[in-house]
A and B are shown apart, each in its own frame.
Chain A
Amino acid sequence: MSERYEIRFSGAGGQGLITAGIILAEAASIVEGKHAVQSQSYGPEARGGASKSEVIISDGPIDYPKATIVDACLAMTQEACDKYANGIKPGGLLLLDEDFVPNIPEGDFRVVRIPIMRTAQEEIGRAIVANVVALGAMIALTDVVERESGLKAVLSRVPAAFKELNEKAYGLGFDKVKAAMAS
């Protein structure tokens, strides 16, 4: 059986984390030709509430489509962190939005903190691209796909007018995590 790599994106409903998961799955499967399954769970609310999106990536066929033990988890809010930052593999990775997750869970995993929402709002000027910042950050954190594959998947989904905006968001998320991990 092939090795599974399991990633979870969590945050508030409406933050675009399901989309971030879809783009990562596209980068892995359509761009890089690996096997990938993306799934999600969310409440009945259209906005708000905690939501999660999971992506399983493998070199071989994937049977169980949900996470078993998470290699890397993102939490954008404290509520999401409390609800979904669990089941992380020993030695795994936890990525937090440093402004919105003040209570950092303890465990046998590495915590990396960057200001995801603030980067989108202040450096890009658009909160809506926070999910693309988060995607760049997650790919930098895990190296589960190439930086270029992730960018290609992002750009294939956005209209021409928004390509530059999204490319910048992706790059900022990626670079901030690499810097945080190096320090």
Chain B
Amino acid sequence: MAKKVALLQGNDACAQGAVYAGCKFFGGYPITPSTEVAEVLSGELPKVGGKFIQMEDEIAAIASVIGASLAGSKALTASSGPGISLKQELIGYACIAEVPIVIVNVMRGGPSTGMPTGPGQSDVMQAKWGTHGDHAVIAVAPASCQEIFEETVRAFNLAEKYRMPVQILYDEIVGHMREPVTFPEPGELEVIDRTAPTVGPEDYKPFDPSQGQVPPLAAYGSGYKFHVTGLNKAPDGFPTTKAELVDAEERRQIAKVMDNVADIEKNEEYLTDDAEVIIWAFGSTSRSARYAVNELRKEGIKAGLFRPITLWPFPEKRTAELAQQAKAIVVPELNLGQMIYEVDRVAKGACAVAGVNRVDGEPINPGQIMDRVKEVL
């Protein structure tokens, strides 16, 4: 049988990907340009035995998602800049309490209310540093409707596997545009579920490091009782101020991500083999960049595209290699310069690093990228 193909909006593809991944709970509060994720899931989740709830605000929405996940459901919330700002406290809570949740941020401009219907990529540093304290972050940045479907599945997988919040960042352009999406068959994409405890309720410790970097998570309501807190905690989940326990916990929570970068990282490269100039671009901007690469090649300029699909952890190794190879890296982004700081940090002066920036509600077009490439070469 031929696979189902439909013309889907990016936000719709996200909702369909969530259902494919086994999401059974959505808690949200509507905000442009993310609302269609909620709208679609309000129809789809009841069909698969899931629950949809519109909470009284964005903070309550992520709280409901953390609760749903602790009760054993794969859970999602979606918002945009102003709502994501409100969620920061509880993103930190999900980090320290090691609760697998997925947060979609359909990026518009900012700060504050900004331009609700315009695109932006200015929340990428917020995704890394928005909540306080040391914490590892996983964020993915899909660039097409098909990829939003697939990366939503992967975001759930990473959340479940590493027992932590995972953010999906895409901008209004990709969120609102429509492209044909081929629905994968059940089983075609890997779907990972969290590891269940192997010990009985009486012996269970929710943060037992002897169980590995990612201790198994029991579901509330399944007979396991444990304490969950935002305080630094001992392996049994109760608060502690014992220096060695606090230190070990903090370091384990970073290491569970940074020791597994090879599993988490995902990039795409286009014509980079012989490239003298690398355009380093993500999300909708990478589509302008790819167009620019083709046009530049026609003019005899050896351009290539590096596109991070996993934005955090930052693709340090490959970016550093490309900085050694190229004369210049050009970083177009719909903000006034954010990821360029990371590129520059990793390039360590090995090549020129130049930005292309736009915050007027319009996309960066290929011509702007081409002009910048010619300036820096």
A residues whose Cβ falls under 8 Å from a Cβ of B: 1, 22, 25-26, 29-30, 35-44, 62-66, 68
**B7→A64 contact, CB < 8 A:** no
Main secondary structure of the interface of B (DSSP, over half): mixed
User: Which of B55-63, B220-228, B283-291 contacts the other chain?
Assistant: B283-291
Tell me if B7 and A63 are in contact (CB < 8 A): no
| A30, B6: Cβ atoms closer than 8 Å | yes
Other than A29-B180, A44-B117, give 13 A-B pairs with Cβ distance below 8 A.
A25-B178, A35-B180, A36-B180, A39-B177, A41-B117, A43-B117, A44-B32, A62-B179, A63-B288, A63-B290, A64-B290, A64-B365, A66-B363
Is there an interface contact between A39 and B176, defined as CB atoms closer than 8 Å? yes
Confirm or deny: B116 has a beta carbon within 8 angstroms of a beta carbon on chain A.
Answer: yes
In chain B, positions 335-377 with a C-beta closer than 8 Å to chain A are 363, 365-366
Residues of B within 8 A of A1 (CB): 294
Which B154-208 residues have C-beta < 8 A from chain A?
Answer: 173, 176-180
Instruction: Enumerate 6 A-B pairs (CB-CB under 8 Å) in ascending A order.
Output: A26-B7, A37-B177, A37-B179, A39-B178, A63-B288, A64-B288
Within the assembled complex, what's the spacing in Å between the Cα atoms of A63 and B177?
Answer: 12
> Would you call the interface of chain A mostly helix, strand, loop, or mixed?
mixed
Nearest Cβ on chain A to B279's Cβ, whole angstroms: 12
Minimum Cβ distance to chain A for residue B162 (Å)? 32
Known A65-B173, A66-B365; judge A38-B117 contact (CB<8 A).
Answer: no
B5 at the interface (CB under 8 A from A): yes
Q: Is the beta-carbon distance between B363 and A30 smaller than 8 angstroms?
A: no
Which residues of chain A are near B290, meaning CB under 8 Å?
A: 63-64
Bound together, the chains give a CA A36 to CA B365 distance in angstroms of 19
Q: Give the CA-CA distance A44 to B31 in the complex, in Å.
A: 12
Smallest CB separation, A9 vs chain B (Å): 14
Contact assessment for A63 and B287 in the assembled complex, using a CB-CB cutoff below 8 Å: yes
The answer to whether A36 and B179 touch across the interface, beta carbons within 8 angstroms, is yes
A62 to B144 Cα, complex, angstroms: 10
Contacts of A35 in B (CB 8 A): 180
Query: Which residues on A sit within 8 Å (CB–CB) of B32?
Result: 44
Whether A68 and B366, one on each chain, are in contact in the complex, defined by CB atoms closer than 8 angstroms, is: yes
CA distance A35 to B180 in the complex (A): 8
A38, B178: Cβ atoms closer than 8 Å: yes
| Nearest CB in chain B to that of A35: its residue | B180
Contact of B365 among A26, A40, A43, A68 (CB under 8 A): A68
- Residues of B that sit less than 8 Å from A by CB: 5-7, 32, 116-117, 173, 176-180, 284, 287-288, 290-291, 294, 363, 365-366
With A30-B7, A36-B179, A40-B176 known to touch, is A64 a contact of B287 (CB < 8 Å)?
A: yes
Decide if A30 touches B177 in the complex (CB within 8 Å): no
Whether B366 pairs with A64 at a CB distance below 8 angstroms is: yes
Nearest neighbor of A34 in chain B, beta-carbon distance = B180
Cβ 8 A contact of B7, one of A22, A62, A66: A22
Residues of A within 8 A of B180 (CB): 29-30, 35-36
- CB of A55 to closest CB in B, whole Å: 9
Complex Cα–Cα for A67 and B96 (A): 45
Closest-CB distance, B310 to chain A (whole angstroms): 21
Q: What are the residues of chain A within 8 A of B287 when measuring CB–CB?
A: 63-65
A25 to B117, Cβ gap below 8 A?
A: no
Taking the nearest CB of chain A, how far is it from the CB of B87, in angstroms? 23
Residue of A nearest to B286 (CB): A63
Measured in the bound complex, the distance between the Cα atoms of B178 and A40 in whole Å is 9
Q: Which residue of A lies closest to B178 (CB)?
A: A38
Among residues of B, the one whose C-beta sits closest to the C-beta of A23 is: B7
| A residues in contact with B291, CB < 8 Å | 63-64, 68
Which residues of the other chain, B, contact A44 by a CB distance below 8 angstroms?
Answer: 32, 116-117
Would B5 and A30 count as touching, CB distance under 8 A?
yes
Q: Which residues of B contact A42 (CB under 8 A)?
A: 117
Q: Given that A29-B7, A64-B291, A66-B365 are contacting pairs, would A37 and B178 also be in contact in the complex, using a CB cutoff of 8 Å?
A: yes
B6, B7, B284: the one within 8 Å of A65 (CB): B284
Q: How far is the CB of B291 from chain A (nearest CB, A)?
A: 4
Q: List the B side residues contacting A39 at CB < 8 Å.
A: 173, 176-178
In the assembly, what is the distance between CA of A64 and CA of B369, in Å?
12
Residues of A within 8 A of B7 (CB): 22, 25-26, 29-30, 36, 38
B111 CB to closest chain A CB (Å) equals: 18
Measured CA separation A69–B351 after assembly (Å): 34
* Residues in A neighbouring B178, C-beta threshold 8 A: 22, 25, 37-39
A43 to B117, CA, bound (A): 7
Residues of chain B within 8 A of A22, CB atoms compared: 7, 178
Best-surrounded residue of B32, B117, B177, B363 (most CB of chain A within 10 A): B177
Q: In the assembled complex, how far is the CB of residue B141 from the closest CB belonging to chain A, in whole angstroms?
A: 16
The CA of A41 and the CA of B176, in the complex, are separated in Å by: 9
